[in-house]
């Protein structure tokens, strides 16, 4: 019996297949993969088994529901060869209603639908396979795991916006995201048992979506994303923090309606908007256009500036951890950010950084800088297994 962990983004579906283990042992990874390009007509399927075998297939054709069904069939009847005990889902927004993982049913889906305006890219993408699996396999348990849960205990003043109190009472507050990733890093730091639990730690989840999390005792005490996943750092196609007057200007002077604003904020800003060419860091690094360099400089600047804000919450910083696609694989970007964090004690070892070592700071630096791989699918599988055992 196995657990399927689905980690669905706006343009890709990552997954992990895990065997259940006896007792309280966490589920064991069997294979992991990705269906990339799901927002286009030619999605590509890649998977890697723990024995090293790789699968690479073109999954063109069919709608997203059909691809979900095809994935279940492939896992149970193809090389995966496992009978599914449950499916765990990453859900970006749980709002005030959901703190812990929850068994999915019609009522849960209805409540999560009310949060679509707060995560229009991700929430519908997570709910669609839930509905399809419920129709296709009504007896297969499904569990929702929430990116907001890790930050659920954020308290005033961190959680508060300077808005009329009535809006806060309606739920307009800072929620924070990328929580499954931060939970994975917190677990890794705890397992390393090298003092992180007693330190002031900032973790940078840098990918197409990007944020920072300030941790004390490996619990979230502040984060850059807020009410929605638009806030905070500059991202691949999202702007991060903006002067709200810009949005008023675009409405009043340029005639932007809500739909046009939403599309711009989610799809046309960030690295893509500033560079005018790409949201992909590798492509920008390879480009000789000055706009590409300007986009990367702004990204590094915004990470450094928001790091200072997180350090203010913590009263200092002892450790800085890179994770996420850019954080784990973008050595050049890590170096740019590290150079801007020199005043906080960061000193990057160029050789260790180029090699992607676990620790990339020099012994002379006052700030320990690390690179750690996140494991959102592993966290989803663990939460799903625990909920199944309790029920």
| Cα angle 185, 360, 222; round to 5 | 40
Over its C-alpha atoms, the chain yields an Rg (Å, rounded) of 21
Letter string b/e over residues 156-189, b meaning 16 or more CB atoms within 10 A of that residue's CB: eebbeeeeeeeeeeeebbbbbbbbbbbbbbbbbb
* Peptide linkage before 157 cis (omega within 30 of 0): yes
- Please confirm, yes or no, whether 51 is among the known catalytic residues: no
User: What size, in residues, is the chain?
Assistant: 391
| Nearest-10 Cα torsion for 301, 250, 209, 39 | -140
Distance of alpha carbon 126 from alpha carbon 325, whole angstroms: 20
| Cα angle 327, 182, 122; round to 5 | 85
DSSP code for 348:
B
Query: Which of 19, 147, 231, 349 is labelled catalytic?
Result: 147
- Enzyme catalytic residues: 147
């Amino acid at each position: 019996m196995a657990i399927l962990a689905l980690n669905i983004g706006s343009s890709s579906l990552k997954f992990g297949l895990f065997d259940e283990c006896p007792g309280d042992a966490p589920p064991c990874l069997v294979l992991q993969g990705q269906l990339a390009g799901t927002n286009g007509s030619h999605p590509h399927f890649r998977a890697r088994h723990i024995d090293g075998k790789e699968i690479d297939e073109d999954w063109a054709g069919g709608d997203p529901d059909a691809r979900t069904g095809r994935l279940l069939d492939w896992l149970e009847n193809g090389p995966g060869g496992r009978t599914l005990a449950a499916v765990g889902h990453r859900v970006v927004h749980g709002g005030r209603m959901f703190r812990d993982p929850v068994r999915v049913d019609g009522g849960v889906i209805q409540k999560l639908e009310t949060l679509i305006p707060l995560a229009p890219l991700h929430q519908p993408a997570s709910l669609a396979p839930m509905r399809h699996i419920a129709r296709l396999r009504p007896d297969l348990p499904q569990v929702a795991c929430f990116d907001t849960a890790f930050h659920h205990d954020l308290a005033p003043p961190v959680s508060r916006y300077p808005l009329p109190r009535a809006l806060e009472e309606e739920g307009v507050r800072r929620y924070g995201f990328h929580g499954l990733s931060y939970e994975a890093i917190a677990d890794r730091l705890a397992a390393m048992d090298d003092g992180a639990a007693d330190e002031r730690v900032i973790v940078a989840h840098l990918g197409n979506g990007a944020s920072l999390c300030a941790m004390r005792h490996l619990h979230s005490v502040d984060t850059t994303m807020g009410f929605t996943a638009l806030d905070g750092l500059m991202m691949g196609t999202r702007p991060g923090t903006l002067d709200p007057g810009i949005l008023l200007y675009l409405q009043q002077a340029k005639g932007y309606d809500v739909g046009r604003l939403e599309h711009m904020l989610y799809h046309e800003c960030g690295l893509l908007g500033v560079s005018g060419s790409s949201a992909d860091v590798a492509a920008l690094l390879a480009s000789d256009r000055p706009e590409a360099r300007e986009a990367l400089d702004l990204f590094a600047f915004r990470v450094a500036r928001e790091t200072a804000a997180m350090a203010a919450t913590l009263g200092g910083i002892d450790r800085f951890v890179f994770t996420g696609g850019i954080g784990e694989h973008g050595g050049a970007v890590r170096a740019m950010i590290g150079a801007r964090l020199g005043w906080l004690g960061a000193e990057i070892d160029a050789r260790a950084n180029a090699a992607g070592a676990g620790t990339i700071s020099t012994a002379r630096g006052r700030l320990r800088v690390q690179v750690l791989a996140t494991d959102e699918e592993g966290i989803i599988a663990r939460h799903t297994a625990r909920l199944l055992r309790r029920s």
